[in-house]
Amino acid sequence: MRIGFERTMLLGSIESVGQSMKQQDLLLSFRDLLAVFVPGAVLLYALTAIDNTSLGFRITRLVPGVDTIVFAALAYGLGSVIYAIGSGLDFIYDIFEPKLLRGQRRERFACFASIATEAKNRALDATAPGSDLPALWSNKSFWADYLRRTCPAASAELDRLEGTQKFFRTFSVVLLLITCYSGHTIQGAAALAALLVCIGFYAARRAEWSYRLLKWAVLSNL
């Protein structure tokens, strides 16, 4: 009976781990879809609409679905390049981040950052005394990994915010390219207006992610 019970518990644990891995894989795939594939597909479609061409997607009619596969591959590849370019916006944002918060939230953000930095340095000094790791490992990188390992609720909330801000970040690059490509046209003006709105949403989501990250970092040390 004991062997059967242990076997049942083991199978249940394996199934639970498998389900959690599948959920994580689905989450990552969904984030890739939003932040990489969708912006790449939109840019390809926009270029097609502007030039009124097929961009060479009509390769053959002998094999059904080839056009779709080629378009998906190009969209994902182009989206990956745009995603890499868009990551530079995070560096620009970090310079202006303190100015994007107002009132008590700005004061709380400064307090959260101070407490989180002290806790991070204390933990790293205990792990690697005398090393430069506390100065080299940023608050955002350290606490994002720490909360992912210790607090699933915090990690889930941060992943949701990160997914939306990365979508707006990558889409901002797409709209910038469309604006430059369209020139002084109605489409170009519309793309420019959409670009400004998209950058605003990106900055708001990024600020919320940074605030929530430091808030969870403080709560994890209570």
pLDDT tens figures, 181-195: 887 888 889 989 999
pLDDT tens figures, 8-56: 333 343 344 344 434 444 444 566 777 888 888 888 887 776 655 555 4
Q: DSSP for 117-183? A: HHHHHHHHHHHSTT-SHHHHS-HHHHHHHHHHHH-HHHHHHHHHHHHHHHHHHHHHHHHHHHHHHH-
pLDDT tens figures, 202-212: 999 999 999 99
pLDDT tens figures, 103-138: 888 899 999 999 999 999 999 988 888 888 888 899
